[in-house]
Structure formats: structure tokens, C-alpha cells
Chains A and B, each alone.
Chain A
Amino acid sequence: MTAAIRSELLKIRTTAVPWVLAAIAVLIEGLLLLVIFLSRDNPFDSGYTVPHTTQQLRNLLGSGFEGYLLALLLGVLMVTTEFRHKTVTTSYLTTPRRVEFVGAKIISGAILGALLAVLMLVVALVGGGLTLSARGGSFSGLVHQIPAVVPGFVLVFVLFAILGVGVGSIITNQVAAIIICLGWFIILEGILTSLVNAAYKWVPTGAAQAASNLTRGNHNGNDFTLFSWWQGALLMLAYGLVFAAIGSFLLSKRDIT
């Protein structure tokens, strides 16, 4: 298994996928910081202050939270790229058991998802921290929020990367998998939860929000009720692993011709 994971990490590293996703993550985090600071430069709002309350600082550090969609995409691409370029033939020859093939991707995806989270956090910390101190805010105040924000943030990225591998191993067509993922998270989930509010804590977004509360307290940007952080994390993990198990089974039935 270790061999398969190391091979998997080299495989993904030698394609453009992780580098493009990393570039997008940095870009998005940069834009988010821009929005956070510019929106407070309202000349008509005399009460403007740089983020300074605990909650404001945590929101600043964790501003890239929705970047978990990039981790999801990473997981999806790790599987579907193999089918798009037919490299799956070589992968199966080296790792013939489908469970091991998917398992190696889950663990590598989790590692890369964590790295993606750390990348966004570093940009938020350095970019946000420097801007803060330039505007008379407290860099060290932001640094103090690291223990509160980072564990839940990284955990959610890891869980979404695993979910992505699960989805990709069921829907191996790259375009279809991406459209279905984005369709769910951007449109369908919102429609579903606005119709049935109680469903919110069960959908991946709600579960992820619960999981991110690991250390930053019960912050929740809306009125929906959530599971506790560990329940949310387990639910997300269950989604990922159940999808991956179904995917492994389907892959063991699917012929590579």
C-alpha cells in the first residue's frame, strides 16, 4: 500500500493538476483578502476598523474555507484523469486490486487536500497579517487564532478530497463528474436545503461546516442547526468512504478495453 501511495503522489505531481489547483487556491485567497479589506474602506462608514475581534480575525484566517471545493475537484481529478488518458491500464497492472487502487488515491488525496488547506491558510496568514499590520491592526492577534481555525479547516479539506476520490471512482467520466459535483454544491444542495431546512446538517456542506467547528467554537454563518464537529466529520468521512467502496466495486466490474 505504501508503494502504491508513493506512486500515486508521484503520478499526480507529474501532471499539471495539483499546480493549477494550487495556483487557483492562491488566487482565490488573494481575492478574498482584497474583498475583506476593500469592503471596509467605505468612506461613508466612519465606524470602519480593521478586523480585530476574535470572530473577525478567525473569519479572516479561515476566509478560504469554501476552497474545499478545490480539494473535492482534486480528488475527482485524481481518479478521472486516469480514465481520460487511459493511464488506468498501467495503474491496474501495477496495482491490480481495485480496493488498493482506490485506497491509495484516498490517502494521497487526503495528503494533498491537507496541503491545499495549508497553502490557503499560509496566504491568508501572511497576506492578511501583513495588510493588518500595515493598517494598524495586530499581526500577532491573527497568529493567535491559528489553533482555533487550522485543525477544522484542514480536516474539512481532507474530507472533501476523500469525497472527491469517492465520486470520481463512481463517475469516471471527467466532465460528467465535475459537472455533477459543481451542480450539486452550487445549485441542487441550495435548492434542497431551502425546501427542507432540516436536511442542511445532513448534506456535505452542513456536515463540513459542523466539522470545521472542531476548535473555532460553534460559529455558523446561517440559522441552520448543525451536528457537533465530530458527528459532522464522521458523516463526511462516511460519504467519502461509502462512495469509494461503491466505486471500488464498480471498478472491479468495469472492463478496461
Chain B
Amino acid sequence: MWLRRLSTDRVARRGDAPGDAPLILVEPVKSALRVQALNDAAAALGLMPDLPLADVRAMYPGIIVREADRAADHALLEAVADWCDRYTPLVGLDPPNGLLLDISGCAHLFGGERALGRDLIARLQRQGLAARLGLADTPGAAIAVARYGHQRLVAPGDTRAALLPLPLAALRLPGETVAALAQAGLRRIADIAARPRAPLAARYGEHLLRRLDQALGHEEESIAPRLPVPAYVAERRFPEPIARSEDVLGVIAQLAGDLSRMLERRGAGARHLQAALFRADGAVHRIGAGTAAPLRDAVRMARLFAERLAAIGDACDPGFGYDMVRLSALVAEPLAPAQSGLDSTDRAAALAHLIDRLGARFGAPRLTRPLPRDSHVPERAVAAVPAQTAGGLPWRDVAPPAQDSLAPLRPLRLLAPPEPIEDVISEVPDGAPAQFRWRGVRHVVAAAEGPERIAMEWWAGAAGEAPRDYFRVESRDGLRAWIFRQDRRGRDDAGAATRTTRWLLHGLFA
């Protein structure tokens, strides 16, 4: 599919320029503004891309000029590609203004290829986008007939006949190659298709023949899909758009039922679900939800999306309503048919569902399990692993070095980052503090244990950090804190060794 006037359509859609007046978009090329794109009215005046703006202004002083914005063009192309997802899950980009749709096996859903094409063009036209469709056996041929062909729907097997009369530029060749071929009198695909291949390759490069082979189907070319192709899909289209969130949730619940039956037939469960809401004006909202264990229960799927929609809130604006809703399982894993009723499995399933729902509501990274890691540095000794993914990870309890003490060695709460404490007085040099001030309150130390020296891990990028000496201290009124001292050694201007000590509070014990 070729979006002929993508850039100017974008400007016109924005309401930035009157629809039918000549419009050109310019961008700087080698310190001169040149035409990058133009609309049909401007093309009718005989203007061409790459003309300098000064020349255009000289010819037509009243022409409307806007700045080109390739990033916005690309974003629009992506949005259209998103929208095209309604026809087939296999949509690829062909920048700067083309899209590739693999509609094998999808066209009958829309009443045949011709009807699908008409529907696609009409819908895009309503959105203010001029599109031209080419349909052929290979991506290369489809691109060629979309842009240069008179007969745009090429029946299977007719590819060669349809391509031969087209100009060589249809083969997606660089401009220099086309110009060089033209100098040699080769203008049409027919001119090279019958010639000996070796001299052509020697003269114009392998690329020319590859493009020819791709277009003719001698060489395989696959469409790179933009989005992962889901394993299981259920969808509903509506003659009238729906906008109320209850309706949307109701539809998702129905789709979840469909999906659940599909998954059950294959003995699978979904690990990652996605609901795609196609808005009538072309925008597509995609809402994802992960699960901790393979999920097949329709009610639970529906509840996950209820949480997600509640959490997203206004970010998912229905506008004039959705005319299609699709629920797909992006990732599925085998799930043996479960025998329900046993207490332990019920509880495990209920827990997995709770994890999914809390993850859907607050975001999966917010519900974590503290996975011990093999590190002596306190803040690195634990990794907060999202509970949805923690299931399969190996769990190894890493105990801190054994120490003969009646109190636990590690605090219950860890401050990040550690907080500085002031007015630290020690009775013995390098010994435990006798008193300190934390958050403006003075604490007199009644008992202390330490020091426990923890060296920073030089291999983990903390080479410059000095080792820490940790003390567990208990104040006279019972505050138990984990504090450490860090010495920074250096040299002053005169070259004498200096030592600056800082004290920090890192955690609280019970």
C-alpha cells in the first residue's frame, strides 16, 4: 500500500492548510530549501520534488509552504500501520510512505481481495489519507504495481506479465542506478528481464538482480512484522462504535470466553494478554497484562483488564467510540488441564490471580519478591524481582557471615540512600560511636556491636568507594540502628595524607 501524499495529507489533516490549495513541504538540503513533498494541486501545477524553494516562489508566489517533518511522517505511518492491524496481524513498514500487508488467508473475512481493498481505501480516504493499493504475489511486485502499475490487482501467476511494462524505478532501485540504466537505453523491466544476467550484475551490481528476483518471486522476501504476531486472537467488530467502559469490558469478557475455549483446545494458557481497542477515528489503544502463571480462566482474564482500565483511567480516551476490539494472547505456554477442588492448587491459583491483578493495577514492577543475591554490599544483597516473573527463578538463601550475637545481623528496614548523622562522638578512635544525632534528635548509645567491615565490590563499578565499617548500636531509649563509618583518604595540596570521616545511618532494627 502506497500512501501517495502522506506528508501533505498530514499537514491537511492537522487543519494547518486548506485541503485543495497547492501545498508544498520544504526541507533544507545542502543549505538550500528544497521541496520534499507536494500535494495533488501542486503536482498539477507541474511542480516536482527536489525543486529549490526559490524557483517555486518565483513561479508561484502565492503557494502555501510548510516545513517538512520526517519524524511526524514516520509517526503517522506507524499509526496507520497500527490501524491496518484490523485487516491482518502481519503488517510491515516500507518507509518513507509505504506499508506491506500480508493478507493471505485474511481476505475472505472481508468478502474477497477486491472488497478488502475498497474498504481499506474508503476508510483511509475518510481519514484524509490518499492511498493506492497494489496486490501481487510478492512484496516487491505489490510495491511496483501500487506506484507505477495501471492494473493494480495482479492475479496469482500474472506477476511477470504485469511487471514487464513497468519502468525500472518500480524495482526500488537507487536513483543513480536508474539513471545509469536509462543512459544505456534500459528503461522498462522488460528490457532487463530478458538480458543475460552476468553482464548486468557486473555493470550495475548484484542489487539490481536481487530486486528483480524479489519482484518476480524467484527470491524469497518476507515482510518483517512490526508487532509480534499473537498466537491466539479473538475479535469483535461493531456496526456502531461503543464508548462506555462497561460495554468495552463486556466485550472483553466475551472475547475472553472465546480465547479461553481456543486455549483449552490447544492445552495452553496465556502468559501475556493484550487488548487492542480500535477507535473509529483510526487511533488504536493497546493494553497489555502479564500473568504469573499460564491463564485460561475467562473471568480472571476479564478482571485483569478491568484493573488495567481502572488504572489507566483517562489515558484511554474512547473519543467517538471503538468500532473493533481484539483480545490476543501474545505469549502462551502449555497448561495441563487442571483438576480443581484440591485446596492447595486452589490457593496457588488464587495467589497467581491476585499477583496478576495487583500487577495489572499498580504495574508489575511494583509487586516484588526479595530475591537474595550473592553480594556483601547490603543494598545489592537483594533484588526486587517482579512477582510475576519470580516463579521460575532459582532461589538461593544467602546468609550473612555468622556472628555470635543475640540480635539479628541485618536491619528490617533499609534507608536508600543512607542518611548522614551528625555530632558523632566516639570514645575510642575508630571505635563505635558513643552518641550521635539523627534527624535532629540526639541518641546516646548504650550498647554497640561492630565493626563489621564491608568492602565495596571493585568489579561492580564501585572501585572508588571506600570500605564501610558497620556498627549495630542501641540507644538508651531503645532505638536500634545500623550505622556505618566511611573514611575517605586523600592528599591535600601540600601532599600530606588527609582523612575525612563520614557517618551514615543505613537501617533500622526492631
Question: A and B from one assembly?
Answer: no
A contact residues vs B (CB 8 Å cutoff) = none
B contact residues vs A (CB 8 Å cutoff) = none
